[in-house]
Structure 1
Amino acid sequence: GTRGPLAGIRNLGATCYINSLVQSLFMTPEFRAHILQWRFEPQQRHAMNLAYQLQMLFKRMAHPSRGFVDAKAFVDSFGMGTAAYRQQHDVQELNRQLLDVVQTFIDKAGTEQVLKRLYEGQFYDYKRCKRCGSVTATPSPYQDLSVAIQEISNLPQALKAFTTPDEIDGVSCDTCNDKTTVEKGLTYRTFPQVLTIQLRRIDYNRTTFERERVRQDVHLPLDVDVSELIEKSVVGSPNASDDQDENRFELQTVIAHSGTAYFGHYYAFTRVKRVERDAAVEAKRLEEGEDATEATVGGEWIKFNDERVTVATPEEVEEYIDPASWKRRHVVHATKKKAAEKTKRDAEKKKEADNNDSNNVNDGGDAPKDATEPVTDVATTTTEGAANATPSGNAGMGTPVATDEAFAFGADLFDNTGAGGGGDSDAVAEKSVSGSSYYAIYRRVDLPLPSATIDTASLDVPEYVLEATKTEDDELSRDAAELASLRSVVSVGLVYRGKKHWVSCKPETTLHELTSTARQVFGIEDTLHLRLRAFSATMSVLGATYPADFTMADTGATPGSSFTLLGVEATTDAAIAKDVWPTQSITEWDRLMPIRVYQPEKETFAYLRDLV
């Protein structure tokens, strides 16, 4: 993808798990605003205050001129020592730890529990008597969900399976006053504004006593309605919201992982623009194997891969949110390509066979006198010769052997379509994914999606953070201004009698203005008439001439890219200086070089070699 508008985070060794989570939290507007708006006392602004270090990191990430930031101070504030750099940790565990620490520093008793409102939902931990149907339930909070995905095809299925109850025998029922079978389980009571879900990609093999990666393809829908997951038969679920928006979520971020159960790499995708998806249209596109579009993946996404932040392609995103469709699209596309290649090969074989038949008829030999007269089988004759040949030693010196018939395989040795050869087949191998979705972040549909650009002026950044980052921000702003200036000008090298002088000018600067500049920098006397011509640095010769009112843009020069060389030609003849292309200036070098000449009568360019 193309370079994104946001800053990345430098990988300090094995810190991609931290980077992907921090970038996801930064792209959660409510969390980012809550972190930045807090004000710490001077004695609280220390190296081990994780929330303070997160403020500093967020401020640096928001600067538009940064390519990437260094998060070392933030990583050190976790207190894990060098293990944070050398050993990967689980993203879900890290998120829980981070939220707990932030709540300790910011969301204290008596203050607004913003993070609780954002990330905390509630279960009902219930028991239901199978005999009388009585239910007892206790509320239980949760910050995130961790769902099993074995034999699961999509996220709603996993969320439903997460609350599948167990049956327990011999449990006393207060209503029945007897021991009976009860149904024990969890049901969703409320959902937070931002729902974070871990897909359990790591499983423990009790046979090998090792961890294994679960490579199940799981579809993450762009929109999820969780109202059907609320079990209202559990004490009526009186606190479950009936507000449709509070029960409808859309996919915001996917943290992906590639590698094994022991090591690998984390990176994240965040949706920043919503595009409506037409299910019928997308189904047809998928069936025909057409490429994924922004509508396929619900909008525009940004990919955060440590230092590198890019605009993700729809195909990249589909691989992680709907891997089955991504594979299907590849199979259909590859099958069509294979069929087209086979059709082309068959046509070429047919053409070759037709040519051979034509050559056999017109080879000048004697045709059979009678249509019923048998034609000598050359292959049979040579086969008999092969049978009489010595099987070893100087066999190659005997009667010539017709190779195809002698081996008698009944198939072309170089054609893979033969039996047992594992040759051409209509089947196409399934394309394997480069990684898997590991952590999904959904947000309520009534909350706006994050933006691909951050308005730094609108951020409520503490004064002490602004002061601490002022020096580096000023330096970045100066560098950005200088770079923008360089990108807006054209670098021109003026060459006169072996001397070269570089000037910077705007694309709209005329050659007449540059001629005046050349006269001044080279000290050319006023009695000489000047004109500018293209100049070849390789051969040190003058090339095409342009009208004096031409601008640098008219000559094809582009700002901020390459430089342009212009030769300064001086003459005492005013007519020559005004002539666009005088005949007497054409040299043998001009004929040989691919020089373009401006033709005023046609108002276009032509190659000199085509004119002379």
Structure 2
Amino acid sequence: MSTAPTSPPPINTSKLLTQDFFPGDHSMAHGCPHIKPHKRAGEILSNYQVLTRYSLHYKHRHALGILPPAKKRSRSNEDQSLPKTPPLPTPACVMCQSSLGRIHACLHCVFVGCWKSEHAQSHAQETGHPFSMEISRCGLYCSQCKDFVYDRDFDGIHNIETVRNSEIVSMIQEPGQKRQRYSKWHAGNKEAAIIRAGTKSKICQGLRGLRNMGSTCFMNVILQCFIHNPLLRGYFLSDQHSSKRCEVKGDCMGCEMDQLFTQFYSGTKTPYGPCSFLHTMWMSSSELAGYAQQDAHEFFISALNQIHAKSPNTKLHHCSCVIHKTFAGVLQSDVTCLNCANVTSAFDPILDISLDLRPTRRSKSNGVNKMRGVDEKNDGPNSLADCLDRYTHPEKLGTNEYNCSKCGKTGQEATKQLSMKVIPPVLSFQLKRFEHSMGASKIETKIRFPAQLDMTQYTASARKLKKNKLAKLNGGSESGSPSTPSSSSSMSSVSSNSSVLEPIPTYVYNLFAVINHQGKMDTGHYTAFAKHRGEWFSLDDHKVTLATQKEVLDSKAYMLFYVKQTLDYDFPNAVRD
């Protein structure tokens, strides 16, 4: 099943909004004074809707099946009978054919130009067409204001098309999934008055250096990752934990987080010294007290636990505090008996995932010593995908480690495999660079990691889908030992066909922060990269400099932070289910 962008019906200009968010407040009609006469004609609204639909379809072209196959594969007669869907054209400048950077589409004509070579700006100046749409983000740009502008009608069109696109993708990729649909919220007169009375306009900053107060770089990088975490930012900036109204007596990490966000978004650009945050951590976690260099990951876990502990309505199970809403996931462990194929599952809550960098040598098979996730040239793992493959690959248990409850045999051979039952909105990875087994040492292996990560193949639902397809290939029967030759050959054929597991948008994550460690274990230094308003920045204590994505992806990462591209509508209920 596939789909392609279709032309939407014309915009009804009689239903345009004449005021902004607050009813009765005509002083906030629009963010741009030049847009109203163009909107009345309706042409730029209709063009914006068409371009937004195209942009969303192009962004999810893999899931929608509107891309040609990457490689020529042998197809069955049934596959050959399916009609071929033409691929969507890549957005590119009509002047220089560049598809990199910011590509703008004129909302008055069919011109598409790049920003880097100023073809988009030249077109607007020569033709007098002031409005264009930045295709990748659907941003509305006004050449007269020389800035991106906000307008409720355009924002409404974007929201409608986003919901429509998500529903199409859900029907294609998750036909049996029942999701709670998006419902728009409107402020009434009473709510609008409360918001106006309690709102003060301030300069929106959010980018600031942190002073090193004596080997505190480990804390600074974690705080920067907290600040640039979209979910934590939304929680604390919406005043859901206010230090002025907090009823917690004593040191409260939630209040420290609230003060931290207040300082970063105060408009002040000079470096900030988080003395109060450090003192509160010392009082809450005695093992972190003092001016010795600490591990950033240990500080991260300790900070999460302290924020959770002082949050209101904290629970041991199904906690709805900001930490669990942001970082909490569920890991599924399946133990399969090799005698009767009985599967025993266990579930463990997690806040992050720690990945080994060194491969484990496996037993010889057919005279060949295989090492999963090892690059033959570099003799070691070289990507985040390799680490995740090993993390979720079946592991053979010892003969005395498992007793099967079904076949009643003790000391039975079995395999154990991990997968993600519930993936959190924010994924935190620790790459285990520090070893303590044979003396303290650091692994300097460079691990490649992507800017966008698809976690589909590591989920329990994807494994179940793969198992069902395998059962169909075996004639609809799942009986027999998992180690039988027919099962193994079928599994190999399923794994080689990438069409078995199509990417599902709800499992796609975008990188937003990276922590690096330079030097030795005890004398090293922590730095970070963070994404702020679409741009990458290097954060080295008080130094904040612009960075490129290439610099980020080329760094030797110690911790990685990814955020879901499409967030669940009601995540707490999803965790309970």
TM range (shorter): 0.3 to 0.5
Query: Which structure's CA Rg is the greater one?
Result: 1
TM-score (norm 2): 0.48
TM-score (norm 1): 0.45
The structure that is strand-richer by fraction is 1
